[in-house]
Chains A and B, each alone.
Chain A
């Protein structure tokens, strides 16, 4: 495959059915007639649709608090807007049924090999650098982005430092800040091909030693595990299509570990044949404090998975069902193993945590007789220690436009 962009563009779900408002003139008239800021009818409809659900939400929140008080716990509630885990890591995603098709509804069953014992798992409150530009400069210096002619640009959520040779360090502030080092600025996106036949690249051991050295200098204190190596040939082309040059690279991607538990954070390094770091990225955090929140059992986690599916696909007789959705196909999943991992959460007080999650491995039985293996995640902390807020916080961390 030579042109991945074209392949992606060919799958654009809006290409075959470009959006066209049914009454653009009416829309313009309706909006421009409003000189006073009021909640418009569209948003009001959304609010009305959600009203009954929010009432139920409040009851559940109170229930959670009551349960906590009954337990007499001294641990504070973990207050968050959503227990959803970001990212996707299904190892064998199932095909969708076509544009706008919904996914399958999964029914989870506990396999015989699944342990029923409730493990213990620590929760980690993280410290993230408070001074974005200072941390960016520190990390930049570690990667050699230094000199008298540094260019510093960015915004309140991002700082980019570039030296006279084009090396750059981009530091993005978010709930969990990330740093990105690049040897050069790829003004024109390079084409990358996987080519494992290249010789004369640094060994895996050399690359791992490189990473250890840089991480020690960065000083965040986290460890890495599960290295995944790949060899690529990167060809850079100019805007007119002429080839500027090719470069063989060796890349390693690690999972960041805290206290021996894998997190959802990766660290990535690429080097060239001369063992120069071409690209590197990772999170900027250290562990601030540790708490021992009780966990729900793996069996309760499975029940939670099933309940979540039922909530996503309410029955057709449900009074709250308003979307004109066809019923999804049912897929039976047998969960065969479970392990603990750590996932990043930002609490409503602004603090960032790594909280234990159950990572289930399950085998799905497909309609065509085949089976596939997938990972499923659920927050492992006992739900009585969670308080999910019922209000919106406005724009997200990358949203430059607030209203």
Chain B
């Protein structure tokens, strides 16, 4: 007999696992593509453990939040290995995961110059399709604050892109 929890979890997986997988794929670097399925599974396992905490009105932002933490931990493990083996810092110009998969040089340059927070807001909206309400849920901030930050990120990106293309 299938429980109500299993029903809900199955629906969450079928509805949102593609978006979660896409989120992770876009930000996978420096992990291997071979790790993608593992990361998705780890994310969904957390969703299963915390099923009662998944808010009905923000399922996808909540799951992306979990995916972000899973990815952060996996990257941290990777970075620990790199950092300790070298006992030094990665250079500041190291591209972000998002930059590493963008082939448009001009856009990549603009993304590279954007701050980490601005870039994440911008791409969660442009690539992952989160609106200001969902961004607010993900970041645990007000919708107004999310709108302000998204607007700021978009403005800075446009300015950087324009400056790059004009130059």
Interface residues of A (CB under 8 A from B): 1, 4-5, 7-9, 11-14, 17-22, 24, 27-28, 30-32, 34, 37, 40, 42-43, 45-47, 49-50, 53-54, 56-57, 60-61, 64, 81-90, 92-93, 95-103, 106, 153-158, 160, 162, 168, 170, 172, 180, 182, 185-187, 189-194, 230, 232, 234, 266, 279, 281, 304-305, 307-308, 310-312, 320, 322-325, 343, 357, 374-379, 383, 388, 390, 392, 394-396, 398-403
**Given the interface contacts A11-B104, A24-B13, does A45 sit within 8 Å of B148 by beta carbon?**
no
A400–B92 touching, CB < 8 Å: no
Give Cα A4–Cα B19 distance, bound, in whole angstroms: 22
The residue on B at minimum CB distance from A303 is B88
Task: Give min CB distance, A169 to chain B, whole Å.
Answer: 10
Nearest chain B CB to A363's CB is how many angstroms away?
Answer: 13
Residue positions of B touching A, CB distance < 8 A: 5-6, 9-10, 13-14, 17-18, 20-22, 24-26, 28-42, 44-46, 48-50, 53, 62, 65-66, 68-69, 72-74, 76-96, 99-105, 107-109, 112-116, 122-123, 125-127, 132, 138-142, 144-145, 147-152, 154-155, 157-159, 161-163, 165-166
Do the beta carbons of A158 and B9 come within 8 Å of each other?
no
- Contact B142 A308, beta carbon cutoff 8 Å: no
- Which A residues are CB-close (under 8 A) to B139? 158, 398, 400
A4–B20 CA distance with the chains assembled, in angstroms: 24
Q: How far is the CB of B160 from chain A (nearest CB, A)?
A: 10
Chain B residues within an 8 Å CB radius of A399: 65, 68-69, 72
Cα of A215 to Cα of B81 in the assembled complex, Å = 42
Q: How far is the CA of A155 from the CA of B146 in the complex (A)?
A: 13
Q: Are B32 and A308 in contact (CB under 8 A)?
A: no
Q: B103 touching A102 by the CB < 8 A rule?
A: no
Q: Is the CB of A14 within 8 A of B145?
A: no
- B157 and A186 contacting across the interface, CB-CB below 8 Å: no
Q: Of A186, A377, A383, A398, which contacts B92 at CB under 8 A? A: A377
Closest to A311 in B: B86
Give the residue of A19, A24, A31 whose beta carbon is less than 8 angstroms from that of B24: A19
B147 partner residues in chain A, CB cutoff 8 A: 185-187, 189
> A388 with B127: in contact, given A88-B95, A88-B112, A158-B139 (CB under 8 Å)?
no
Q: Name the one of B24, B93, B95 contacting A376, with C-beta atoms under 8 angstroms.
A: B93
Return the chain A residue nearest B104 by Cβ: A11
Q: Are B103 and A154 in contact (CB under 8 A)?
A: no
- Total inter-chain residue pairs, C-beta < 8 Å: 354
Other-chain contact of B105, A13, A22, A95 (Cβ < 8 Å): A95
User: In the complex the two chains form, is A88's CB within 8 Å of B94's CB?
Assistant: yes
**Which of B29, B44, B86, B91 is within 8 Å of A27, CB to CB?**
B44
Contacts of A101 in B (CB 8 A): 100-101, 103
| A194 in contact with B89 given A40-B41, A42-B38 (CB within 8 Å) | no
Shortest C-beta distance, A19 to chain B (Å), equals 3
Q: Which of A20, A186, A377, A388 contacts B83 (CB 8 A)?
A: A388
Residue of B whose beta carbon sits closest to that of A185: B144
How far, in angstroms, from A14 to B27 measured CA to CA in the complex? Answer: 10
Q: Which residues of A contact B81 (CB under 8 A)?
A: 50, 53-54, 56-57, 320
Find the B residue at minimum CB distance from A307.
B86
Partner of B30, one of A47, A172, A312, A379: A312
Residues from chain B with a CB closer than 8 A to the CB of A89 are: 92-93, 113
Cross-chain contact A401 with B62 (CB below 8 angstroms): yes
B92 touches A232 (CB 8 A): no
- A324 adjacent to B34 (CB under 8 Å): yes
A-B contact pairs, 27 of them (CB 8 A): A1-B165, A5-B125, A8-B122, A13-B102, A14-B25, A34-B45, A37-B49, A42-B42, A57-B81, A61-B84, A82-B79, A85-B90, A85-B91, A88-B112, A89-B93, A92-B109, A93-B95, A93-B108, A93-B109, A97-B103, A157-B140, A160-B141, A170-B144, A170-B149, A189-B154, A311-B82, A403-B66
Chain B residues, CB < 8 A from A8: 107, 122-123, 126-127, 157
CA distance A12 to B10 in the complex (A): 27
Instruction: From A9, A192, A320, give the contact of B155 (CB < 8 A).
Output: A192
A382–B139 Cα distance when bound, in Å, is 36
Closest to A43 in B: B42
A85 / chain B contacts, CB cutoff of 8 Å:
89-92
Chain A min CB distance to B27 (Å): 10
